[in-house]
């Protein structure tokens, strides 16, 4: 499988909180990823008309809905989209189970930038769903 850290890889970052979105964007871009950001589902859908991302990173909750529902919707617009759910409530076993049914990767807080980047590489090296 290709090592996506050596390729031009596009990540769609769907995070409502501007500060969190900015920190994640900076971390990913510093590693060499192309990052397209969205603060809500409507913007994320618009971004899919501009790019075909290799990965969607979203939080457990985005503006007005669960991150799971947003990711499920975006997958209907971008076939086989890999999804990485990051954030706080992921220690709930019911949520982990729900995410696993959709084939989403789950990465709970707390994590360091290095740990996040490793998880991103791991997910990118998986086949598309």
Question: Could you give the domains of the chain?
Answer: 7-118 (3.40.50.2300)
**In this structure, what is the dihedral angle of CA atoms 2, 36, 102, 106, given to the nearest 10 degrees?**
80
The per-residue pLDDT for 94 is 62
> Which tens digit of pLDDT belongs to each residue from 77-104?
998 899 998 876 555 666 666 666 667 7
Are 109 and 88 spatial neighbours (Cβ–Cβ below 8 Å)?
yes
The per-residue pLDDT for 6 is 46
Helices (H), the chain: 18-30, 41-48, 67-77, 93-102, 113-124
The per-residue pLDDT for 98 is 61
pLDDT cut 70: percent of the chain above it: 82
Tell me the three state secondary structure of residue 44: helix
Flag whether pLDDT at 10 surpasses 90. Answer: yes
Flag whether pLDDT at 123 surpasses 60. Answer: yes
What's the predicted TM-score (pTM) here? 0.84
Flag whether pLDDT at 39 surpasses 80. Answer: yes
Q: Which residues of 49-86 are buried (b: 16+ CB within 10 A; e: fewer)?
A: eeeebbbbbbbbbbeeebbbebbeebbeebeebbbbbb
Instruction: Identify which of 122, 41, 22, 42 has the alpha carbon closest to the alpha carbon of residue 82.
Output: 122
């Amino acid at each position: 499988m290709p090592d996506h850290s050596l390729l031009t890889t596009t990540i769609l970052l769907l995070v409502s909180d501007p500060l969190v979105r900015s920190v994640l964007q900076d971390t990913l871009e510093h590693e060499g990823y192309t990052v397209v950001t969205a603060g809500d589902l409507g913007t994320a859908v618009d971004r899919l008309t501009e790019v075909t991302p290799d990965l969607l990173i979203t939080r457990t909750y985005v503006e007005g809905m669960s991150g799971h529902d947003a990711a499920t919707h975006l997958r209907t617009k971008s076939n086989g989209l890999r999804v990485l759910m990051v954030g706080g409530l992921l220690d709930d076993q019911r949520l982990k189970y729900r995410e696993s049914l959709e084939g989403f990767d789950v990465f709970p807080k707390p994590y360091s930038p290095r740990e996040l980047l490793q998880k991103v590489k791991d997910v990118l090296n998986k086949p598309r769903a």
